[in-house]
């Protein structure tokens, strides 16, 4: 059973039923009565009832690589839960899209709970004001038509979030594996080979009652789990062939969905609401007039982001959601 994190506990029968029926998002659980949080090793290890939660938000610790090809997916994402009594719990989540999905679920089912930190809320308001200040006062008829078309396409995509979420997830997985450097890849392969050697040597020794055999098996098992969890070795679910096939399948699914709508403004591999939002922004800023021109400007903007560029949290959230789509497609 999960351990209480808050102050108000649930009866054991109620807790058991609520956890069993909760919606699972990665290691998190969204129950009717409580939010279930993970520990470093265990999923849904703790729980806190919804009325005790003051705020829930995402925290990202980004690697020094910034938005370069190496560092863009070298970040660590956390779900931070603030209670009304002032206590805070930070839960590390391996895949950032799961944090976003959890926050979207909370925003929909518990709109009374803010899903941004206080500092992030203020920065977002300032960023929105600065953005609107850059907009053209009067758009041409062509620009207005382009904005309407892009907004219509954005609404169409948002009606099927699973389609574009899968596109982002598969692109991120593929790019993450592509970004592993030769040195790290070699270290991962050597670690995997060493763990297999330890297991192959330790198991017979253990069966023959050799006292060192058990230590070799335990060490080999630990190294094996670490080498597989680190995603450094391109085998199994991390093989390039499998990741590429999953990405192409996600693109095909996106293609099938947008084909139901006439003259969609972006290719299937870029069919994400955030791409369309950024294209609309480009039009409103007067940097393009047509959808084709706006998409090229978006590509240029994304290419320009590197470790020396400082961006807001809102900008970071957008870039981390879509840049992989462009990287794995080589901006074509």
Q: For 209-264, what is each residue's pLDDT tens digit? A: 887 888 888 887 887 776 666 666 676 677 778 888 999 999 999 999 999 988 89
Per-residue pLDDT, averaged over 176-181, amounts to 73
CB hemisphere CA count around 136 (13 angstroms): 17
Q: Cα separation of 167 and 155, whole Å?
A: 17
Contact 171, 247 (CB under 8 A): yes
Give the 3-state secondary structure percentages of the chain, helix then strand then coil, rounded to 5: 60, 10, 30
* pLDDT at residue 4 greater than cutoff 90: yes
Report phi then psi at 55, rounded to 5.
Answer: -160, 145
**What integer pLDDT is reported at residue 307 of this predicted model?**
66
Please give the Cα distance from 274 to 126 (Å, whole number).
20
* Spatial separation of the C-alpha atoms in residues 275 and 263, rounded to whole Å: 16
Q: What is the pLDDT of residue 233?
A: 67
Angle at 155 between CA 174 and CA 140, to 5 degrees: 110
What is the percentage of the chain residues whose pLDDT exceeds 70?
Answer: 88
Per DSSP, helices labelled H in 67-208 are: 96-109, 118-133, 141-158, 161-178, 182-207
For residue range 66-120, what is the model confidence (pLDDT) as tens digits? 444 444 445 678 999 999 999 999 999 988 889 989 999 999 999 999 998 877 7
State residue 178's pLDDT score. Answer: 76
Give residue 277's pLDDT band: very low, low, confident or very high (50, 70, 90).
very high
Least confident of 28-32, 146-150, 171-175, 223-227: 223-227
pTM confidence score: 0.61
pLDDT at residue number 138: 87
pLDDT of residue 318: 85
């Amino acid at each position: 059973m999960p351990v209480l994190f808050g102050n108000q506990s649930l009866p054991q029968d109620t807790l058991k039923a609520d956890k069993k029926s909760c919606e699972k998002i990665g290691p998190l659980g969204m129950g009717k009565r409580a939010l279930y949080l993970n520990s470093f090793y265990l999923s849904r290890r703790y729980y806190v009832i919804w009325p005790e939660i003051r705020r829930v938000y995402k925290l990202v610790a980004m690697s020094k690589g910034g938005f370069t090809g190496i560092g863009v997916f070298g970040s660590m994402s956390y779900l931070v839960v603030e209670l009304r009594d002032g206590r805070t719990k930070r839960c590390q989540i391996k895949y950032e899209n799961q944090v976003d999905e959890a926050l979207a679920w909370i925003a929909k089912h518990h709109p009374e709970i803010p899903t941004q930190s206080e500092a992030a809320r203020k920065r977002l308001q300032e960023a929105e004001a600065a953005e609107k200040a850059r907009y053209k006062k009067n758009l041409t008829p062509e620009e207005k038509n382009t904005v309407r078309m892009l907004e219509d396409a954005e609404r169409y995509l948002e009606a099927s979030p699973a389609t574009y979420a899968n596109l982002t997830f598969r692109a991120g997985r593929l790019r993450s594996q592509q970004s592993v450097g030769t040195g790290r890849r070699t270290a991962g392969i050597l670690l995997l080979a060493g763990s297999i050697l330890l297991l192959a040597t330790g198991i017979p020794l253990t069966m023959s009652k050799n006292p060192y055999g058990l230590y070799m098996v335990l060490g080999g098992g630990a190294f094996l789990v670490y080498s597989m969890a680190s995603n450094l070795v391109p085998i199994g679910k991390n093989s390039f062939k499998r990741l590429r096939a999953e990405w192409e399948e996600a693109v095909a699914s996106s293609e099938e969905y947008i084909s139901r709508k006439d003259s969609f403004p972006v290719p299937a591999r870029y069919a994400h609401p955030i791409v369309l939002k950024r294209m609309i922004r480009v039009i409103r800023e007067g940097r393009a007039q047509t959808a084709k021109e706006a998409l090229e400007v978006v590509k240029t903007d994304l290419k320009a982001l590197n470790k020396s560029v400082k961006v807001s949290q809102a900008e970071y959230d957008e870039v981390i959601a879509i840049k992989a789509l462009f990287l794995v497609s080589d901006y074509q």
